[in-house]
């Protein structure tokens, strides 16, 4: 009698496994599709994040230049005026240079009249004249957050 009970139990469990397998097949298929969709979305998100960071960097580099290239000829450069404007904004030469896109040493050389800024830098300097103190501080903070110090 025990052999019939064991055989019956084995057959019932085999049929139950088969039925469970048939029932879960559709669920597995849907789960696989969802996993593929999630992986594709993750790839797309990382690609978009890379594009956003690139565009933010590009936006940070551009200083709104309301001065056209034709007006560069009319721009006069004064070392004393540059120094007073930098001091008025409350910026160090390094911070002022970071906004312009040059080093602090270059700003010091401009102020000491050892060198003169190029035409492209003159347009940036002219556009920088329109910045207020708060706006300049905000721009410096934004630029320092984007590019941490290298070791």
Q: Give domain status of residue 97, yes or no.
A: yes
Domain assignment present for 30: no
Q: What HEC string does 70-125 produce?
A: HHHHHCCCCHHHHHHHHHHHCCCHHHHHHHHCCCHHHHHHHHCCCCCCCHHHHHHH
Q: Show Cβ contacts of residue 15 under 8 Å, excluding neighbours closer than 6 positions.
A: none
Encoded tokens for 87: 């001091």
CA dist 1 to 4, 5, 11, 70, 86, Å?
5, 7, 16, 107, 102
pLDDT at residue 63, as a whole number: 53
Mean pLDDT of 125-145: 84
For residue 120, the domain's CATH number is 1.10.260.40
If you average pLDDT over residues 122-148, what whole number do you get? Answer: 82
The larger pLDDT score, comparing residue 149 to residue 112, is at 112
* Mean per-residue pLDDT over the chain, rounded: 84
How many domains does one find in the chain?
Answer: 1
Of residues 147 and 70, more confidence is placed in: 147
- Measure the CA–CA gap between 138 and 37, rounded to whole angstroms: 40
Residue 50 included in any domain: no
119 lies in some domain = yes
- Percent of the chain having pLDDT more than 70? 85
Residue 65: what are its φ and ψ, rounded to 5°?
A: -95, 105
Residue 99 lies in a domain: yes
Per-residue pLDDT, 70: 54
Q: Which domain holds residue 98?
A: 69-146
16 pLDDT more than 90 = yes
Question: What is the model's pLDDT at position 65?
Answer: 47
């Amino acid at each position: 009698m025990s052999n019939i009970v064991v055989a019956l139990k084995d057959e019932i469990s085999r049929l139950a496994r088969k039925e469970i397998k048939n029932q879960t097949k559709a669920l597995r298929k849907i789960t696989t599709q969802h996993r593929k969709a999630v992986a594709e979305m993750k790839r797309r998100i990382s690609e978009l994040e890379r594009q956003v960071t690139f565009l933010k960097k590009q936006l940070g580099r551009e200083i709104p230049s309301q001065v056209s290239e034709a007006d560069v000829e009319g721009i006069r450069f004064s070392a004393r005026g540059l120094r007073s404007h930098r001091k008025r904004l409350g910026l160090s030469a390094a911070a002022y240079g970071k906004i312009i896109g040059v080093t602090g040493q270059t700003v010091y050389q401009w102020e000491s009249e050892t060198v003169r800024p190029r035409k492209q830098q003159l347009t940036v300097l002219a556009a920088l004249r329109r910045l207020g103190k708060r706006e300049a501080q905000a721009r410096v903070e934004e630029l320092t957050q984007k590019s941490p110090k290298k070791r």
